[in-house]
Each structure stands twice: as structure tokens, then as C-alpha cells.
Amino acid sequence: MNDEFEFTESSPSTFDIKAFLYKTLSYWKLFILCIGIGLFIVYQQNIRTQQSYKLGTQISVEDDKNPLFTSNTSLTFNWGGVSGKVKTIITTLQSRSHHEKVVNNLQFYITYLKQARFRKDDIYKAAPFTFTLLPNTSQVLDVPVRILVLDDTTFEIGLDFEKSVVSTQNYSSKEKSTVDVSVGPFKQRFEFGDPIVLPFLNGTVHFKKDRKMIAGTDYFIQFQNYDAVVAKYKSKLWVNNPDNSSILNLEMTDVNTGKIEDYLNETVRVLSEDQLNRKNQFVTNTIKFIDEQLDRVKSQLALNADSLNSYRQNNKIFNLDEESLQINEKLSKYEIDKDNTNRQLAYYSNLKIYLETSNSFTDLPAPSIAGVDDANILGNVSKLNALSVQKSKYESTVRSDAAIFGDINRQMEGLKAVLLENISSATNGLRREMAFINSKIAATNSKIRKLPQDQQNMLNIERQYALSEQTYNVFLAKRGEADIIKSASVSDILVIDPAKDTGAQPIDLKLSSRYVFAVIGGFLPPLLLAFLITFFDTKLHSPQNLEQISRIPLLGVIGKSQLDNNLAVHLKPKSTIAESFRSIRSSLQYMYKDKGKDGTKTILVTSSVSGEGKTFCSINLATVFALSGKKTVLVGLDLRKPKIFGDFNLNNDLGVVNYLIGQNTLDDIIVDSEVENLDVITSGPIPPNPSELLIGDAMDNFISELKNRYDYVILDTPPVALVADALELLEYVDASMYVVRQDYTKKGMLNFINDKYKKRELSNISFLYNYYDQKGKYGYGFGYGYGTYGYGAYGNGYHENHTVKSSLFERVKGFFK
């Protein structure tokens, strides 16, 4: 098959890059508008938004041991939680309870503001006063409280209530409530330092001595929801653990560098304090226990001393003989041993009950305070306390159903079982030792009974006093050891770099950068609009579009007519449109000459649908042949929707239909036009059967008579996409002109004619590209036809320009179009 018919038309949906680019360029006004809007929006944001800053601090999680805690220390303590503390501390830093402490300490639920041009800036410590809350009182939430400085001693409180009910919060109990107020402004004067007691505001404004108050200056304080403030700062704190090391980097972003600095440093201080308190929990419990015992023994010691002194004075006995002293010393030693043994037995008994009934073991005192020196018991109590401390930490930071709690509980249960066995074994040994001590005491008592009664009583009172004194001295010594160890304890949190503002730069985009993004953002809407229009556009916008989707040759390009009448060539013979039709005439004559066609030439003009300029092209093509001296006839064969009569100011009562049905002769229906050498035959009345009339024998005779009389016969036919009449007339013509219109004809409409051409059902058919605008919908021209190259001033004298003076409204409308 010939290559001409192997052509496959381009899909109408193929994206046209060149059309997209020209469409984009045609929206230059929209680009300017969108960019201007973007710059305006960014400018408004810049003047209304306070810049954000970022500061950080760096800490190290150490495993610091107490330098005074050695194997020789008589008190045994375990500091607990020293292994794997980094993850626990990260979790603690991200916990709500931790941030509640920090917010409470810093009172960050109170914000100090100063009115700028377009916003209220957070000035924090730059405010020349502080607001001290009255304990257990409520403050209004989320309503700016205006502080207007009147002079060095007086200020005015101002609030503007928009609702009759406002929310308040008690920052002592954290309870929220509502208060009824009067809608509108509220004002009242106070002196610095005087308490403010109102239903919605309670506190004292204190003037900072190192600041200067300027009369007429106003500030604002605003109270925020406590839980919301905690949640805000909790989300702002960023914790990073580089390379899973012991180093933690803490960072925070806020609009006030002073707030960031204080919050980070207070966060580290609270963390360090909590870690130290947990670390000292065991020794603190032990000191508490020792203090309770010292109070008890001290009372008993004073009572025994009083009894001894009273007995000596009443019985006049102040000294014992040598034998009595020796016996008393032995008995006192046995009594002390018995007391120590009883103390150990009591500790084991309490420890056993504690293990069997309690789930938390952080309150265990050190075993050594009771004289327990069993290595197994000392070690296991220490391990049990460490696990309990670790569990206590996790309970405040980790979910209750976490797997780690199961592991800790299993370890604690194992230690409890071992401790209970150790306690049973140690108790049995102490009971045997107690029996031995009791036997020695009994033997010594038998010797004492041989002494005089007054000496026996004296010895008994002295033994009780010596026993109380010895016990008191033991507890007092252990209390001193505990204090020394506690005072030597240090936190595991080491501050490497505290938070400090050393000239922090805003982390937001610089103002100039924001404007760059505004320009980029202004480009996007027109680009997207151009893309969507181009992507979904199926119409022809240039001769190139036509050549891309069809192999049918393009015979000529006709410009956009500004006339109200279709007689463009006749009325404006020197216009570019007239030259376009002359160019088409020349092309047709060349085609006829090339094919050796002599005699009458018959030309059919059709299109896809109505409105593409078929009749316009028919009239002007006939006119241009007539102006060349050729006898030409224009025949209106669009029997369903006749048009040509109106442009020639003719009557359509008589025409082709009358001839075809045998009513009139050819001479009856031919009408002379105002154009020399051009006759017109209108279609006539609309028949009920136009298709049948066009395929009858009468049509053969009609065309034959026209060929005998005229050099050129121009047939104006119906659109082929709507009816098949034009196809029935192809057998009578030498050439067919298929009219398409710029920005009107859809590409899909050409599928029908392309298919016919590909199957060789049509021949000698060409396209006429009508309504061509060099700027066009996409703003590009290609120079088809004479006078369409855009020669500008070089065309003066050759072409007539049709200019119509536009109104101001039309010119403005055209600018934005």
C-alpha cells in the first residue's frame, strides 16, 4: 500500500508540549497577578509572625559511685538504676510528669506580652514586672490582661470580655471552673505590690527594681491551660542520643530564646534532682529508721539514768566492791549480746513479713543497722532494693503492660524466695545463740543473788542504763555514717554544655527566602492551569496541530475576519483574508493544471459541524474566482439549513429544491449577485426529503447544465459529521474543500474524514484552515498563506487593515482576557 495511506493519525489525547509552553506564556498577566498575591501574603505573614529560634544543651549520663562507699563501710547501700540508664532517662525526659514539674517551677503558664505593630510579642523576662499568683486562687484563661503603666506606683488592669462566662484555672490544684462576667471592657487601678483579688484574677504585680517604668506603656499577661502548656513543651523538646552513647543532646524551638534557655536548664536540673533522690532512696529510708530508733532509745536512756541517780541518792550507795563490778561487767556484756541478737531476730521477723505482704521494696532499711552481717542477706536485700527502684522509675515513664515489668517481677520473686530461705537459716542460728547467752546470764545471775540485796538492785539498774547507752551509741554512729554517705552522693547527670543564647539566629526562612518561595508559588497556579487546559483540550489551535493528526493536505490558511458580512473578499479586496483566498485559488489552479483538468471545475465545500466557516469559505472562494474573470456560480446545497442568501440580501423562496422537484427551470433559480461574474443559486424551501433529492436523476441534470454554463461551480454542502448529503455529492466534483476552524474544531471530529481518506473512499480532498489568528489561543503563528507572516509595517500599501475603535471597557477586558 502507498505510504500515504500507511499513516496512523496521532491520538487526540497526545500532550502537546509546544502548545503547553505557548499557553503558559500567554498567561503572563496571570503570572504577575499570582506572584503579586503571593508576595503580599508572605509580607503579611512576615509582619505578623514572631521569628522562631533553636537552642540546645548537652548532658552525659554517668555511672558515678559514692567515693565513701567501700567494702569496709558498716552500712550497705545499693544506688540502683545505674545500668542502662540512658534509655530510662530519655523516656523520663519525654514523660508528662517530668514536664509538669518544669512548667510548675518556671510558671510557663503565664505569658508576658507586648503589643507590636501587628502582633503581641512574647517578651518573657524583658517585662519590667512580675505577676505573683495568690495561693489556691483561680485565673482567667486565654484572655489577654492589659497592664497599663500610669506612673511609678500605679497601673491599670484592663480586660475585654466577649462572653458572659469565662474559663478559669487554679494552678495550685489544677482544677478548672467558669466565672460569670459582664460582657465588654473591664478596668480597675491598682498599686504595685498590692494584691489583686477579683473573681477572675488573683495575684500581685511586683515592679522590678532594675527596670525603668515608662508611663503610658502597656503590657499584657495571658494565662494558658496548664495541661495544654505541658503538652506544648513536651512536644517541643527534642532528645537525641548519638550513636547510642551516654551523651544526650536536648534541643527546643520557641519564639523567645530566654524561655528556651530557662526551660532546657530547668529540665536538666529537675532530671538531676530526681535521679539523685532516687539514688539516695535506700539511704534516706535507713536514716529515717535510725532516727526513729534513736528517739526511742534516747527516752529509755534518760529514764534509766534518772532511776540510777534516784536509787543512789535514796540508798546512799555510790560505789560497788571489786567482785560486784566484775560480775556486773560480765552480765552487761551478756545483756548487750542478747540485745543485739534480739534486734537481729526482730529485723528478720519484720523482713519476712515485709517480703510476704509487700509488692514494693524501696522502703527497706539497710540490714547492717540491726547488726546483720550475713553476706547473702546483705547482697540479696541490696539487689531487691535495686530492682524495686528500677521498677519505680519505669512505672512513671513506661506503659503498665510493657514486657519489662514481667521480667523485673520474675527477678524480684526469685530474690524473695532466696531471702526467705536465708532468713529461716539465720533465724535458727540466732535462736541457738540466744539460748547460749541466756544460759550464761542465768549463771551470772546466780552469783549476783549471793550479794547483798541493795547491791543486787544497784547492779540491775546500772546494767539497764549501760545497755541503753550502748544501744544509743551504736545507732548514733550508724546515723553519722549514713549522713556522710548521703552527702557524698552525686547525681549521674553531668551537664557538659548548659543552654545559653550566644547569638541564636532565626531558624525560620529568611525574609528574602520567603519571597523567593512566594514567587515560585505564584508560578504554580498558572502553570497548573495551563497544563490542565492543554491536557484536556481537544481542539485545533494551529495548522501544525492539523498536520500532526491528518495526512489530508492543507491547501490554505484563512485569517480571522472582523466583518459582520461573509463577503470579505468583495468588501475588502486588499485585505489579508482576500489574499489568502487568492492563494487558495492559485493552489487549486495549479492542482488542476498538474492533473490536466480542462473545462468546468466543480468544487465542493464542507466541514465537520456547523459554525466552522463553511459558508464563509464557499462565498469568498466563489468571489475570488469571479474576480479573476471566470464565470462562477455559487450553489447552496445545504438544503436543511440554508444560509448563503442572507449575505447577498436575496430571497430563499426559489432555489435548488424547486429545480430538483421539477417546479422551475435553471434560469428561474439563477440570481445575479453584486459581484461581477458571480451568480448565486440558493437552496430554496426546506424539503422533507433532502437526501433523496440530492441523489436523484434531477441532480445529474442540474450539475450537467451548470458545467455547460460556468467555468467554476462552487457547492456549499451540509457538514459531513451531521448528515451524509455531502458524501453523496462527491461524485460530481473535481476537488473537495474540508473547512476546519481554529479554537473551534475538535480533533476527534476529523476521525471520520481521516478514515474515509485512509480507505481511499475520498480523493482530491484538502483542508482549509479557517479563522486563523496569529496570536491565537496559544499565542503562536506559523506564517501560512499570504499576509499571515506578521510583516507589520512592511505590509503597508498592500493590505487593508480593518480597525474598529474599542471602548475603554472592551480594552480593559481584552487586557485580562
Q: pLDDT, tens digit, for every residue of 173-224? A: 999 999 999 999 999 999 999 999 999 999 999 988 877 778 888 899 999 9
SS3 content of the chain, % helix, strand, coil (to 5): 50, 15, 35
What is the structure's pLDDT at 314? 64
SS3 (DSSP) at 111: strand
Choice among 110-124, 173-187, 380-394 with the minimum mean pLDDT: 380-394
Contact 345, 427 (CB under 8 A): yes
Q: Is the pLDDT assigned to residue 326 strictly greater than 70?
A: no
pLDDT of 9 = 46
Per-residue model confidence as pLDDT tens digits over 676-731: 999 999 999 999 888 888 888 899 999 999 999 999 999 999 888 777 777 888 88
DSSP type of residue 746: B
N-to-C CA span, the chain: 48
User: Any idea how long the chain is?
Assistant: 817
User: What does the pLDDT average to over 89-108?
Assistant: 92
The C-alpha cell of 261 is what?
534557655
* pLDDT on residue 801: 52
pLDDT at position 73 is 46
Mean pLDDT score, 543-549: 88
Cβ of 310: how many Cβ atoms within 10 Å? 11
Cα separation, 395 vs 56, in Å, equals 28
Return the minimum-mean-pLDDT range out of 335-349, 613-627, 729-743.
Answer: 335-349
Helix orientation angle between 28-48 and 511-536, rounded to the nearest 10 degrees:
150
pLDDT at 375 (0 to 100): 74
* Overall average pLDDT of the 151-162 stretch: 92
Mean pLDDT of the residues in the chain: 81
pLDDT at 282 over 70: no
Q: What pLDDT digit, counting tens, does each position of 469-478 carry?
A: 777 777 777 7
Which residue type sits at 384? L
601-614 mean pLDDT: 92
What does the alpha-carbon distance between residue 510 and residue 52 come to, in Å, rounded to a whole number? 11
CB atoms within 10 A of CB 182: 8
Cα–Cα dist 48/124, whole Å: 19
The confidence score (pLDDT) of residue 239 equals: 92
Give the model's pLDDT for residue 431. Answer: 83
Low-confidence winner among 113-127, 393-407, 605-619 (lowest mean pLDDT): 393-407
- How far CA 155 is from CA of 115, 140, 151, 200, 762, in Å, comes to 17, 19, 7, 18, 97
Burial of 760 (0-12, 13-18, 19+ CB in 10 A): exposed
Alpha-carbon distance values, 738 to 71, 603, 733, 783 (Å): 110, 11, 13, 20
Which is more confidently placed, 295 or 1?
Answer: 295
Tell me how far apart the alpha carbons of residues 573 and 557 are, in angstroms, rounded to a whole number.
Answer: 17
pLDDT at 784: 42
pLDDT digits (tens, 9 = 90+) for 482-495: 777 666 677 778 88
The mean pLDDT value for 791-800 works out to 45
pTM assigned to the model:
0.53
Question: What is residue 434's predicted lDDT score, i.e. its pLDDT?
Answer: 82
- The tens digit of pLDDT for each residue in 312-324 reads 556 655 455 555 6
Q: Are 773 and 565 in contact (CB under 8 A)?
A: no
Lowest mean pLDDT among 68-77, 592-601, 766-775: 68-77
pLDDT value of position 268: 94
771 conformational bin, left if phi > 0, alpha if psi -120 to 50, beta if neither = left
Of all residues in the chain, what percent carry a pLDDT higher than 90? 34
Q: By mean pLDDT, which of 24-33, 453-462, 515-524, 570-579 is the weakest? A: 453-462
pLDDT at 344 over 50: yes
pLDDT of the residue at 189: 94
Q: Could you tell me which of 529, 629, 646 has the C-alpha nearest to residue 589?
A: 629
Q: Say which residue the cell 484563512 belongs to.
A: 558
pLDDT at 373: 66
pLDDT at 324: 60
